[in-house]
Amino acid sequence: MSEQTNGLQQAAGSFQKEGFQHTEEFCRLNEYQKAAVLDESPACVVNANVGSGKTTVLIGKILYLHLDRNVPLEKMTVLTFTNKAADEIVERLRKIKPDIAPDQVQGFGTFHSVALRMLKNSLPVEEAGWTKEFTVMDPDEETDLAMKIIQEHGLKVKYKNRLKKRLEQEYQNWLEGKAESRYRDDMYRLYQLLEEEKKRQNKMSFADLLRVGEELLRIKAEDSGVERRDEKSGPAWILVDEVQDSDLMQIEFLDALRGGKAKIFAVGDPNQVIYSWRGTGDNMFYLIKHRFGAKELTLPVNYRSNASILAAANRFLQFGNRIQGTREEGQRITVRNHYDPFQEAEYLAEKIQTLHRNGKSYREIAVFYRLQSQSGILEKVFDRYGIPYELSVKKTLKDIPVLNWLVKVLRVSVNPADTQMAAEVLADPGYGEESMYLRMTEFSEETGKRESVSAGELFAYFGLREALHPSSAGYQEDERLVMDFLEKMCASCNKEMESSQGNLTAAVRKFINSSALYGMKTDAGEKAPGDISECEGAGSEPDEKDRTAEPDRVSLMTLHASKGLEFDTVFIIGVNQGMIPLRCKNFEQEEEERRLFFVGITRAENNLELSWYTNPGEPGAIGEPSRYLRMIPEQLLNREDAGKPENVRSGENAGGDGRKSDLHQLRKQVQEQIRLKSEHARRPGSAGMAERGAHLQGETVKKEKEQKEPEVIRVRHRKYGEGILISEDDMMIEAEFREYGRKKFLKAFGEVEVLDAV
DNA sequence: GAGCTGTTCTTTTTT
DNA sequence: AGAACAGCTC
């Protein structure tokens, strides 16, 4: 298919099949979205503003490539960071094109699941030291194994209680060949021994999947020479969702997968990086752009929020140009002051009740907070008011002891080399049984050869009736949980064996492996204990019925968990100094807190209410509104200090107490007013502050007055290159860079050099 | 192992 | 700012 294939031929060909360009879906896209869908550069990154239809473009791209450019779905790899995102893409694709078969979208999934599939199907894992029968271990298991090795070898490893975190965070350093851990202990020796032990027990950690996958992909590319590899190997197109969230290992994997041949199309938003504390580097969006020499397109138009919300959001934008809106001004943003978290919960309960009575469904409403610990009060009060709510805390199979144990039994059964798991199964205080040992090690020989199986048969084979102790109080419940799990597993395994002629051992292994990657979630919000509603095994499809039956509930979640979601009405609580932003030591962390707040406010479609407490119970927070509230222009706000129902309270605990708190509140308000005024006075260049700054800092601040002139002052930054000075005061300096947009810096760090002496 | 001083982290969470 | 830990001394 030649490169000039274009509009004409498309139009000519449209009689035979519709073609995506002629569908309603395509016509509904705006010009930016269309450009992104149609772009066929070798590498392209789409800088997608919040709410600009990023996933719609990704899906449009898939359909365009498939229907108009004849790229088979099998030749596309679509990489996401969460299983939820992968499921959503396939689900939305099916909505437009319902005849997509599951094996057509094998290449759609998280980085880890795609890596796993390739290690199992097409890469020579033996060359790396594992066999095709390897299993996947989760981070807790890896930590346990590391602990065991530390003990056995008498290693000196500091902060053992934070070992899990350390294993993850220092892994990259070790890979890069650094000599010693920053804590000057045996950490790197531990990595080495751990790796050997994982090979011995034939299992891979999450990180191994990516790292080994990358290594083998590179070897494979070398082997097949510089000349084109045969057509079957590797994807023709690689599409990446939320690319700003990738880490270094994922970029290397991506690069290896591309093999210098596949085209890359990645969408992401540098303004929504909120997980960099977890190891996502500096600025992955631009790093990827430069790494692959990618063309950058933008999606500037937001379809979600009203103009007031977007105007506020624009104040927090750190990269790129301002977000363009499509909607009317709408409701202003409410800023409300409450006395304490308890008063606020009461207020929220009443407010939500009123909204619901006036016809708003609960599912349109969400409450966001910075810390998990803040949800407790809300839960209690909402319970009392009878308001249905859903907490976004995930529960995993590991929280259900009997299933946790059962998974270990199955793990050993499909991988007898896993001595760690075998020991844990037998040593389990609740279910450990010596007799399990033979059943697990003989599983492959006996039952494992079968071509179909039922839950009852497995239950009997493992002798679970005795192992679960029929006389114990929890037996009934345990049996039910185990049978539920086995039934789901058998259904998936039978299907798998039918389609791939594998045996039971292989099918169970596949199921257990993908369950490990899928997190083995259970719905914590559900009342039914232990309902394994989302235990997706190998090859099984997303449960359609679970989604349609979503009950009407208010969503309670952390700001982090809110990413990717949208609601008609959003309340963000605890917008106090010391809470949002959470006290943080360095400037990069502060920037991330700002992005987090940005993510939070941009979830709201029509109504946004931000509140702060005079008396926050949370440690660290102080009774002042967050400085972020001062960053929002006053004309966008609707300040409702002290609220109306709260006045009832002061009458309630009448007398000294109430008056005292009223006085307290009044004083806070006065202080706030004073601060606001001084803030306004300072912005165009406050003489007083500048003078003091000049004394402390020396030269750079000298001539505040000249800055009013439209003279361009150039600055330079180690990372961002040359830019122009926007503003500065005694603490901060703000500059704009062509590639990176506006950034603020702490003068004390001396990162920015002013080039034009004034 | 008590008592001291210095260091490090505290929150957010996916695979 | 305070907890939890590491490493030292006695």
The 10s digit of each residue's pLDDT in A141-189 is 999 999 999 988 888 888 888 899 999 988 988 988 888 888 888 899 9
In this structure, the number of other CB atoms found within 10 A of the CB of residue A314 comes to 17
Q: Say what angle helices A248-258 and A111-121 make with each other, to 10 degrees.
A: 50
| CA gap A532, A291 in Å, rounded | 42
* pLDDT value at A705 more than 90: no
| CA gap A21, A384 in Å, rounded | 53
CA of A264 vs C1' of C7, distance in Å? 51
CATH number of the domain to which A112 belongs: 3.40.50.300
pLDDT above 90 covers what percent of chain A? 56
Same domain, A436 and A290: no
Mean pLDDT of A106-116: 96
Stretch among A130-144, A349-363, A408-422, A719-733 having the lowest mean pLDDT: A719-733
Same domain, A558 and A637: yes
Domain annotation covers residue A81: yes
Which carries the bigger pLDDT value, residue A2 or residue A96?
A96
Q: Is the shortest CB-to-strand distance from A749 to strand B under 7 Å?
A: no
Tally of residues, chain A = 758
Which of A299, A325, A354 is the last residue in one of the domains?
A299
* pLDDT value at A246 more than 50: yes
* pLDDT value at A658 more than 60: no
Question: Would you say A268 and A243 are in contact if contact means Cβ atoms under 8 Å apart?
Answer: yes
CA of A559 vs C1' of B1, distance in Å? 45
Residue of A212, A213, A168 lying closest to A187 (CA atoms): A168
Nucleotide nearest to A159 (CA to C1'): C5
Identify the residue whose tokens are 């144990």: A405
CA of A619 vs C1' of C2, distance in Å? 10
Same domain, A427 and A491: yes
Q: Is A110 helix (H, G, I), strand (E, B) or coil?
A: strand
CA A126, A130, A134, A138 torsion-angle sign: negative
Which carries the bigger pLDDT value, residue A686 or residue A638?
A638
Going by the annotation, the residues of the binding site of A are 48-55
Bases of strand B lying below 7 A from some protein CB: 8-15
Phi, psi of A222 (to 5 degrees): -65, -50
Question: What is the structure's pLDDT at A744?
Answer: 60
Greatest mean pLDDT among A96-110, A271-285, A642-656, A682-696: A96-110
Question: Would you say A309 and A50 are in contact if contact means Cβ atoms under 8 Å apart?
Answer: no
Stretch among A55-59, A453-457, A683-687, A720-724 having the lowest mean pLDDT: A683-687
CA of A158 vs C1' of B3, distance in Å? 21
Which carries the bigger pLDDT value, residue A654 or residue A566?
A566
Q: Which helix (H) or strand (E) holds A389?
A: strand A389-391
- Structural domain of A629: 307-388+551-682
Domain annotation covers residue A609: yes
Q: Is residue A193 exposed (0-12), middle (13-18) or buried (19+ Cβ within 10 Å)?
A: middle
Identify the residue whose tokens are 């631009």: A286
Those residues whose C-beta lies under 8 Å from the C-beta of residue A406, and which sit 6 or more positions away, are: A464, A482, A485
| CA gap A70, A65 in Å, rounded | 6
pLDDT tens for A661-699 read: 333 333 344 344 333 333 333 323 333 333 333 333 333
Domain annotation covers residue A486: yes
pLDDT tens for A184-232 read: 888 999 999 999 999 999 999 999 999 999 999 999 888 776 554 455 6
* pLDDT value at A360 more than 60: yes
- Bridge partners, A11 (sequence order): none
Q: Is the shortest CB-to-strand distance from A158 to strand B under 7 Å?
A: no
Report the protein residue whose CA lies nearest the C1' of nucleotide C6. A158
Going by the annotation, the residues of the binding site of A for ATP are 48-55
Same domain, A444 and A582: no
CA of A150 vs C1' of C8, distance in Å? 23
* pLDDT value at A731 more than 80: no
Question: What is the structure's pLDDT at A399?
Answer: 85
Same domain, A705 and A636: no
Question: What is the structure's pLDDT at A687?
Answer: 30
pLDDT tens for A291-313 read: 999 999 999 999 999 999 999 99
Which of A276, A299, A322 is the last residue in one of the domains?
A299
Same domain, A246 and A106: yes
Which of A623, A653, A682 is the last residue in one of the domains?
A682
Q: Is the shortest CB-to-strand distance from A183 to strand B under 7 Å?
A: yes
CA of A600 vs C1' of B11, distance in Å? 16
Nucleotide nearest to A619 (CA to C1'): C1
Same domain, A533 and A401: yes
Please give, chain by chain, protein residues whose CB is below 7 Å from any atom of strand C. A 156, 158-161, 185, 620
CA of A233 vs C1' of B12, distance in Å? 40
* pLDDT value at A128 more than 90: yes
Greatest mean pLDDT among A9-18, A588-597, A640-649: A588-597
Same domain, A450 and A521: yes
Domain annotation covers residue A731: yes
Nucleotide nearest to A394 (CA to C1'): B13
Same domain, A25 and A102: yes
| CA gap A758, A748 in Å, rounded | 20
pLDDT tens for A525-545 read: 332 333 344 444 444 444 444
Buried b (16+ CB within 10 A) or exposed e, A395-424: bbbbebbbbbbbbbbbbbbbbbbbebbbeb
Nucleotide nearest to A182 (CA to C1'): B8
Tokens of A294: 């990618």
Tokens of A159: 């902060």
Q: Is the shortest CB-to-strand distance from A517 to strand B under 7 Å?
A: yes
Same domain, A115 and A254: yes
Q: Are strands A521-522 and A395-396 parallel, antiparallel or unpaired?
A: antiparallel
Q: Is the shortest CB-to-strand distance from A522 to strand B under 7 Å?
A: no
Domain annotation covers residue A619: yes
| CA gap A208, A115 in Å, rounded | 10
CA of A316 vs C1' of B6, distance in Å? 39
Q: What is the DSSP letter of A301?
A: B
| CA gap A174, A161 in Å, rounded | 20
pLDDT tens for A592-637 read: 999 999 999 999 999 999 999 988 887 778 888 999 999 999 999 8
Domain annotation covers residue A693: no
Tally of structural domains, chain A: 5
Nucleotide nearest to A583 (CA to C1'): B11
Question: Would you say A241 and A81 are in contact if contact means Cβ atoms under 8 Å apart?
Answer: yes
Q: Is the shortest CB-to-strand distance from A90 to strand B under 7 Å?
A: no
Question: What is the structure's pLDDT at A520?
Answer: 62
| CA gap A216, A219 in Å, rounded | 5
**pLDDT averaged over every residue in chain A:** 82
Q: Say what angle helices A284-291 and A248-258 make with each other, to 10 degrees.
A: 30
Question: What is the structure's pLDDT at A682?
Answer: 30
| CA gap A570, A327 in Å, rounded | 18
CA of A183 vs C1' of B6, distance in Å? 14
Report the protein residue whose CA lies nearest the C1' of nucleotide B14. A82
| CA gap A413, A422 in Å, rounded | 9
Same domain, A92 and A11: yes
Domain annotation covers residue A1: no
Question: What is the structure's pLDDT at A17?
Answer: 55
Question: What is the structure's pLDDT at A715?
Answer: 77
Task: Using a 7 Å CB cutoff, list residues 546-605 of A near strand B.
Answer: 557-558, 560-561, 582, 584-585, 589
Q: Quick one: pLDDT band at residue A234, thresholds 50, 70, 90?
A: confident
In this structure, the number of other CB atoms found within 10 A of the CB of residue A324 comes to 15
Nucleotide nearest to A157 (CA to C1'): C6
Question: Would you say A745 and A731 are in contact if contact means Cβ atoms under 8 Å apart?
Answer: no
Question: What is the structure's pLDDT at A293?
Answer: 94
Q: Quick one: pLDDT band at residue A747, thresholds 50, 70, 90?
A: low
Bases of strand C lying below 7 A from some protein CB: 1, 4-7
* pLDDT value at A355 more than 80: yes
Question: What is the structure's pLDDT at A710?
Answer: 42
Nucleotide nearest to A161 (CA to C1'): C5
CA of A606 vs C1' of B13, distance in Å? 28
3-state helix, strand, coil in chain A (%, to 5): 50, 15, 35
* Helix residue ranges per DSSP H, A14-138: 24-27, 31-38, 54-63, 83-96, 111-121
Same domain, A425 and A487: yes
CA of A562 vs C1' of B14, distance in Å? 14
Domain annotation covers residue A221: no
Report the protein residue whose CA lies nearest the C1' of nucleotide C1. A620
* pLDDT value at A107 more than 70: yes
